[in-house]
Structure 1
Amino acid sequence: RSVRMRSFFILGFPGLSPQFHGPVSALLFFVYMSIAIGNIFILVFVLSERSLQKPTYLVFCHLALNDLTFGTVTLPKIISKYWFDDSLISFYGCFLQMFFVHYLGSVTSFILLVMALDRFVAICVPLRYPVLITNQIISVLCGFAWFIPLSLLITIILQALPLDYCKSNVIAQCYCDHISITSQACGENVKSVQITTLCMAMFCLLLPLAFILFSYVSILVVILKMSNSAGRRKTMSTCTPQIFITCLFYLPRCFVYVANTVGFSFSLGVRIFLILLYSLLPAAVNPIIYCFKTQDIKQALMKRVRTTRIRVIKVSV
């Protein structure tokens, strides 16, 4: 057996000229601050505003926590690469990052399922909504969303760790993921480990997606059957934030997977950029969608702003 690698080298964006390292690190730092500020704001605002402590907004909180954690797990290392020329990550540190990258992605998928279930019950069986969807039930369902992928990801890590890593120690990505790590492994078991992992990944992505598609198609059918156009618009507006968020998560992934399946290949730089984009864009954009596309949050936010403005005027007078 070969000697176990002590560390991996994060490649980042291949061929990027050193003169662009500063601007790229500044851009990534701005993205991270946007993710951190936006999602912390949603968590604090929803949890401190009693009128927003409803099932729908508790799901938003779980998603915000997930997005915040994902940004914190992935971005600091790639920022330090371009800011401080620190490209090395320890062997076990890389596996830990890989675990969180795939675990948090899987959790997002299941949280989006809970989000779709919430809207499905609210629109398709509205009279049963207060009984079927309560804060307690949503908390339990979101707890399952965090718990279900855990055993799968532990299995994936335990399968990948014993492999013989005898190729390059370069991770052709901005963070450690399963494909980048196992592509540096040798031996007969590598292919079976990759196939097993692919099957688990498809389970975590496609099972929730199947229900999400079913629920939103059912919602669309109910909306189209409504005779009142104002009622149609109002009902549709209650689920547009969830549809936006779901599309941001699934559509770019499906595009990349389908493109690879039909034989359309991207250059390494473009592939890395696309993966980084679809991994981080939802985390940065979701808080904006919550605030501007969700009527209750928008109204609560405007009320808080007006109250603060009145207090400032009174103090100044």
Structure 2
Amino acid sequence: MAEGNHSTVTEFILTGFPGLHPEYQDLVSAVLFFVYCLTLTGNVTILYLFAMDHSLHKPMYYIILNLCTCDILFSTTTLPKIISKYWFHSGTISFTACFVQMYFVHYLGTVNSYILFLMALDRYLAVCHPLKYPIVFKSHTILILSITAWVIAHVGPLMLVIRAYPLPYCASNIIYHCFCDHIGITILACTDRAPYGFPAVVYAMVVLLGPLAFIVFSYCCIIIAVLKIANVQGRIKSLSTCSTQLIIISLYYLPRCLVYLASHVGITFSADVRIVIVMMYSLCPPMINPLIYCLRAKDMRESLRKQLHKTAVLKKAQVSATIG
């Protein structure tokens, strides 16, 4: 069928988890809602600590600030719709809204990848070039790099949407996923998908593997630099400054790489398993990241402790004033 605006589809249906038995739908939706609440609470807490404690206004925490913002936006883009599907039996999404969601899913994923690149760059300069670090990596430098990441990330997802939106969608309108993404939508088009699918795969590989290549390079350099430190305590201290970011980076990249590798070595997953894996590596890191910051970053732990102590003192004072 020729390309063009011949779509008869006016809305799409998100299946969520296709094989999920009806009796478990309430449980799954409750878990997703719990994940969403934890994600919002954790990341908003980090934003609050950053706003209230000026001692956190350092390059590393400016990068974390960007990551928290990205995690909040991504979870808000994807989770409310799938939760409403199970709670209110509202699995349909309008034609345009699906493409808007697709855009933000890929846009925020791209921003996330760029921010992790900045994380690796931060640790690389701090460990391998400590004398240059305070000169090169100032707060305004991070601001410029962060804004650049958010702006440049628009290009790829916007092109994906511009190319996919006019395709003729005249057959099935069922998307076997919990949210709209490029593969889930374009596979429904009544035309050859190859001219649209291949550039999307290339874009995904560039966005994923480009930053990952630098991350691997930077941490190899960091390990070599640390091994040159004669003092064992110095080695441990240098590695500890990288551990938080390395855990966060691993949570983002390792599951994705495993899924891509599995598909290329002939390992296939059922639709349900695939969706579960995608949801886990998409939604678990935004929920877990704030916990990692607070447990692993000394400055963040101390800031949280001070804010909790201040809140406790304030409540105690209010109670005393009420009794008095």
Decide: shared fold, TM above 0.5. Answer: yes
- Between 1:41-50 and 1:272-281, the stretch displaced more is 41-50
1:112, 1:246 within 8 Å by CA — same for their partners in 2? yes
On the 8 A contact 2:74/2:108 being kept in 1, the answer is yes
Query: C-alpha distance in 2, partners of 1:310/1:271?
Result: 49
1:150-181 per-residue CA deviation (whole Å, 9 max, x = no partner) reads 11111111111111112310000000011110
**2:308 counterpart (296, 305, 309):** 305
What does the per-residue CA deviation read over 1:111-159, in whole Å, with 9 as the maximum and x for residues that have no partner? 0001111111111110111110011000111111111121111111111
- Aligned to 1:206, what secondary structure does the other structure show? helix
How many residues are matched? Answer: 316
Partner of 1:107: 111
The alpha carbon displacement at 1:287 in A equals 0.4
Residue number in structure 2 paired with 1:65? 69
Instruction: Specify the SS of the correspondent of 2:153.
Output: helix
**Paired position in structure 2 for 1:216:** 219
TM-score (norm. length: structure 2): 0.94
| Structure 2 unaligned blocks of 5 or more | none
CA-atom RMSD in angstroms: 1.4
Q: 2: CA distance between counterparts of 1:82 and 1:316?
A: 42
Unaligned stretches of 5+ in structure 1? none
Question: Over residues 265-314 of structure 1, what are the superposed CA-to-partner deviations in whole Å (9 max), with x where a residue is unaligned?
Answer: 00110000000000000010000011101111112222333344455556
1:254, distance to aligned residue in structure 2 (A): 0.3
* Equivalence for 1:144: 148
1:179 aligned onto 2:183: yes
Aligned to 1:170: 174
2:82, 2:31 → 1: CA distance? 11
> Percent sequence identity over matched residues?
45
Match of 1:280 in 2: 283
Q: How does 1:82-97 map to 2 (within 5 A)?
A: 82-97=86-101
My pick for the range that moved more, 135-144 or 1-10, is: 1-10
1:15 aligns with 2:19: yes
Q: Are 1:26 and 2:30 counterparts?
A: yes
Code of the aligned partner of 1:205: L
Q: Structure 1 CA distance, aligned partners of 2:14 and 2:172? A: 11
What SS class does the counterpart of residue 16 from structure 2 fall into? coil
State whether residues 114 and 211 of structure 2, in contact with CA within 8 Å, keep that contact through their aligned partners in structure 1. Answer: yes
Q: How does 1:259-274 map to 2 (within 5 A)?
A: 259-274=262-277
Contact 1:6 1:90 in 2 (8 A): yes
String of CA shifts for 1:36-81, please: whole Å, max 9, x gaps.
Answer: 1111111111122100011100100000000000000000000000
Give 1:199's aligned residue.
202
1:46 and 2:68 are equivalent in the alignment: no
Contact 1:149/1:204 (<8 A) preserved = no
| C-alpha distance in structure 2 between counterparts of 1:269 and 1:316, whole Å | 52
| C-alpha separation in 1, matches of 2:95 and 2:121 | 40
What CA distance in whole angstroms lies between the structure 2 residues aligned with 1:3 and 1:196? Answer: 22
Matched, 1:236 2:239: yes
Q: Relative to 1, partners in 2 of residues 1:218 and 1:88: Cα closer, same or farther, differing over 3 Å? A: same
Alpha-carbon separation, structure 2, partners of 1:198 and 1:252:
17
Residue 293 of structure 1 aligns with which residue?
A: 296
Aligned match of 2:133: 129
Q: In 2, distance between residues paired with 1:37 and 1:133? A: 29
Q: 1:255 aligned to 253, 258, 261, which one?
A: 258
Q: Residue 5 of structure 1 corresponds to which residue in structure 2?
A: 9
Higher mean C-alpha displacement, 162-171 vs 284-293: 162-171
Q: Deviations over 1:71-127 (max 9, x none)?
A: 000000000000000010000100000000111011100000011111111111101
Tell me, in whole angstroms, the C-alpha distance in 2 between the residues paired with 1:9 and 1:316: 52
Equivalent pair of 1:8/1:169 in contact (CA under 8 Å): yes
Q: Relative to structure 1, is the Cα distance of residues 10 and 119 closer, same or farther in structure 2, using a 3 angstrom cutoff?
A: same
- Which of 44, 56, 59 lines up with 2:60 in the alignment? 56
